[in-house]
Amino acid sequence: VQLWESGGGLVQSGGSLRLSCAVSGTIFSINALGWYRQAPGKQREFVAGTAGRAPANYTDYADFVKGRFTVSRGDAKNTVYLQMNSLKPEDTAVYYCNGDYDLPEEGWPGRHWGQGTQVTVSS
């Protein structure tokens, strides 16, 4: 299973970006897909995720992105998006897609990671 992120870049404070993640290497549904981020000198942290089998998907967000970021599944199988609005300089980080066939009992993260995409928010 491989996860591929795209959509990172440089944006001014208050701006928006949309990250995409696509999965390859499996014919099965990846029912848990989410996002983590890692800023320089900091630990990787959970941002948002969606899990479950449609139509019973649920979403979860870190407190620091609630009301600003939205995670959603794409129409294409095994895709997930992260719409990021009202971006702040402290959102600057490498954003990683994370997934698994089902959400582990202990919760996030799943077993599979993407390579990451850089998001830089200028002040």
Residue 77 confidence (pLDDT): 83
Q: Which residues pair with 77 in a beta bridge?
A: none
Residue 15: alpha-carbon gap to chain centroid? 18
What pLDDT band is residue 57 in, cutting at 50, 70 and 90? confident
What is the predicted pLDDT for the residue at 54? 65
Pairing verdict, β 117-122 and 9-12: parallel
Q: Is the pLDDT score of 46 beyond 90?
A: yes
Please state, for a pLDDT cut of 90, what percent of the chain lies above it: 89
Candidates 92, 85, 87, 88; CA nearest to 117 is 92
Confidence at residue 55, expressed as pLDDT on a 0 to 100 scale: 64
The string of pLDDT tens digits covering residues 62-113 is 999 999 999 999 888 899 999 999 999 999 999 999 999 999 999 999 999 9
Contact 13, 90 (CB under 8 A): no
Q: What is the mean pLDDT of the chain?
A: 95
